[in-house]
Amino acid sequence: MSVSITAGPAVSAGPAPAQRRRSRRRKRIEIALFAGPAFLVYVTFVLVPVALAAVYSFFRWNGLEALTDFIGLENYRRALSDPVFIGAIGHNLFVVVMSLIVQGPIAIGIALLLNRRLRGRTFFRVIIFIPYVLSEVIAALSWKLLLQPAGPFDTFLASIGLHGLKQLWLADGNVVLWTLFAVLTWKYVGFAIILFLAGLQGVPAELEEAGRIDGASWWQIQRYITIPLLAPTIRIWAFLSIIGSLQLFDMVWVLTGGGPAGATTTMATYMVQYGFQRSQLGFGSAVAVILFIISLAFALLYQRFVLRRDLQGPLSQGVR
Amino acid sequence: MTGLTDSRALTALDGAERDRRPRHRFDWSQPFVYVVALVIVGITVVPVAYIWINAFRTTAQINADAAAWPSPWLWQNFATVSTTSAFWTQVLNSTITALGTTAGVGILGVLAAFVIARYDFRGRDALYSLFTAGLLFPITVAILPLYLMLQGLGLVNTLAGVIIPQIAFQLPVTIIILVPFLRAIPVELEDAASIDGTSRFGFFWRIMLPLSGPGLVTVGVLAFVASWNAYLLPLLLLGDPTMQTLPLGVQLFSTQYSQDTALVLAFTTLAMLPAIIFFTIAQRNIVGGLTGAVKG
């Protein structure tokens, strides 16, 4: 008995030390070989440029001369005191808030409706997803064509007797932000619906069944069983939506170019305008850093207060 | 035994009773659902369909009446666009870029995810966090220095200049999706493989890769679509018309031919097709992958 006890640890200690050392070195080499390339590419082309943007933001610089004209926080002061840039932040926040309170409920409602045995469900899915698969450029150009003054959309309104609603959709500063939001909703609500439909597959049918047997109405089942169980998906969607809205560029750049008269400028279009078109790389970088800080603040607050439950220890599960 | 026959009798009775009722009680919510579904389909599809249908008319016809059915259906716009414009060059450029990005992201991503999911080492959590933090670094923030860097490397007006940064920026989401996939493969398989004398890489190659197929397809599809639709980086990097990708091509064409609406519509229609066909085929994988990612 005592023999087997002393033998125990020796056996579990495994191979001889030399062999273990060799296998440990081998493991290190494997880690470096496998993860190294991804790490290098990621650091070089993602982290380094972001860090460089932070450096450039302290200089007045056109990208050609040496980086010598250090001006401290002047670029930041200039951006934050430019009413156009403050307006741009406002436009981004408008899209953030409107997306959450308009697109969210629409998408949840449609997903709940479509989440039942329905003839041609695959067909609906494909159709609903079409705007999302189209590139922003193509979607924006299409809508630009449709919304031109006296264009197809106005003709359509007239044909259903709504002449009164006709607007200069893309040229009237009071209307254009709403137009932009409508086009964004058209483009992205399908993504939200698909996401929610995917989430709904994870809601066990037994629970809804149980609710029905207990006499709950359709609405009660959705309200008290399905939607709460869908909550993690909704929270992830909201996160993606917020970040996307803050970084809005492609659609705006093609649809309105930020105009008319800055009525749809976003932080990103403002940055490209100054950084590239006017070659003010230092100033453009400061704008990029502000955009990043705002995104980061949103992301951290959101993770801290909303997502904590969903992401709790993503590394603590199922890892040896 | 009696209990069993009883329950059988009950079932039979139940069945008989059910048969007496009309087979399908008419569910009033069902037509409502279809109406809603149709309205959504309409809002989604009509703008796209308008473009497709009017691409079969002439500009003169469109100017005379913005909304009418083509009569007869004319193919000449498509013929003009596909023979005279840079359309096919742009399709080729977009395809090369998307395939390059997808292959790069797939290979680099799965190897890194394998290490994060399957190796135990100091700094693993930090490595994973570093990659996940990448979700917060959009290409928009990095674009100015990135452009200068690519200029320094002589990659302006090359497809490689678009592919490599796209791989880098697609890595975070790829790794986030793949790690749970690779982690879910049971440890027992790995032990069995190692007892049978398989190396770590052999295990990865012969067991991990085949088993993580669905995850790989998902990240592949996401990378492909992201690259196919990318705008900002190609816009800044690919000034040379012979190097342009499809989104740039559509924009350029619509400015050049702004007077000839029908041609622009035809070009736009053609440019939409690859993405829609690709998505219709890959539809299942995207939805499946999203489910995995959300649960992950």
Q: At A215, give phi and psi (nearest 5°).
A: 85, 20
CA distance B98 to B281: 16
Tell me whether residue B17 is in a domain. Answer: no
At B173, list the tokens: 């989401």
> Is pLDDT above 50 for A317?
no
pLDDT above 50 (res B14): no
Residue of A39, A118, A137 to mutate, interface with B, max B Cβ within 10 Å? A137
Q: Which residues of chain A have a CB within 8 Å of the CB of B233? A: none
The domain that contains B276 carries what CATH number?
A: 1.10.3720.10
Mean pLDDT of B129-141: 85
* Statement: residue A187 has pLDDT above 80: yes
Most confident of A16-30, A97-111, A112-126, B72-86: A97-111
- Contacts with B84 (C-beta within 8 Å, 6 or more apart), sequence order: none
Q: What is the DSSP letter of B123?
A: T
A38:B171 CB<8 A:
yes
Question: Residue B146 is part of which domain span?
Answer: 85-295
End-to-end CA distance of chain A: 32
Q: What is the pLDDT of residue A310?
A: 59
pLDDT at residue B25 in the model = 53
Whether residue B53 lies inside any domain: the answer is no
Domain map of chain A by residue range?
A: 15-56, 76-308
The b-or-e profile of A74-110 (16+ CB within 10 A means b, else e) is bbbebbeeeeebebbbebbebbbebbeeebbeebbeb
Interchain pair A247, B138: CB under 8 A = yes
Q: Return the C-alpha torsion angle A109, A115, A120, A124, nearest 10.
A: 40
The answer to the question of residue B219 being in a domain is yes
| Segment A276-297, tens digit of pLDDT | 888 899 999 999 999 999 988 9
Whose tokens are 């999911």? That residue is B117
Binning pLDDT at 50, 70 and 90, where does residue A53 land?
A: very high
CATH value of A76-308 in 3.30.590.10, 1.10.3720.10, 3.40.190.10, 3.40.1190.10:
1.10.3720.10
Kindly state whether residue B35 falls inside one of the protein's structural domains: no
Q: Which 32-91 residues of chain B touch chain A by CB within 8 A?
A: 33-34, 36-37, 40-41, 43-45, 47-48, 50-51, 54, 66-67
- DSSP conformation letters of chain A: -HHHHHHHHHHHT-S-HHHHHHHHHHHHHHHHHHHHHHHHHHIIIIIHHHHHHHHHTTB---SSS-S--B-TTHHHHHHHT-HHHHHHHHHHHHHHHHIIIIIHHHHHHHHHHHSS--TTHHHHHHHHHHHHHS-HHHHHHHHHHHHSTTSHHHHHHHHTT-GGG---TTT-TTTHHHHHHHHHHHHHHHHHHHHHHHHHTTS-HHHHHHHHHTT--HHHHIIIIIHHHHHHHHHHHHHHHHHHHHT--HHHHHHTTT-STTTT--HHHHHHIIIIIS--HHHHHHHHHHHHHHHHHHHHHHIIIIIHHHHS-TTTSS--
Interchain pair B200, A27: CB under 8 A: yes
Partner-chain contact A142 B276, CB within 8 Å: no
Give how far B23 is from chain A: nearest CA, Å: 17
Cis peptide upstream of residue A17 (ω within 30 degrees of 0): no
Is the residue at B37 inside a domain? no
Of residues B6 and B120, more confidence is placed in B120
Average pLDDT, chain B: 82
What would the pLDDT profile of A235-276 be if each residue is shown by its tens digit? 888 988 998 899 999 999 999 988 788 899 999 999 999 988
Backbone angles phi, psi at B78, to 5 degrees: -65, -40
Chain B residue closest to A240 (CA)? B135
Is B201 an 8 Å CB contact of chain A?
yes
In b/e form, how buried is each residue of A220-239, taking b as 16+ CB within 10 angstroms? ebbeebbbebbebbbbbbbb
Tokens coding A34: 């496998």
Report the pLDDT value the prediction gives residue B104, as an integer from 0 to 100. Answer: 96
Over the range A165-191, which residues count as b (16 or more CB within 10 Å of their CB) and which as e? Answer: eebbbbbeeeebbebbbebbbbbbbbb
- Total number of domains in chain B: 1
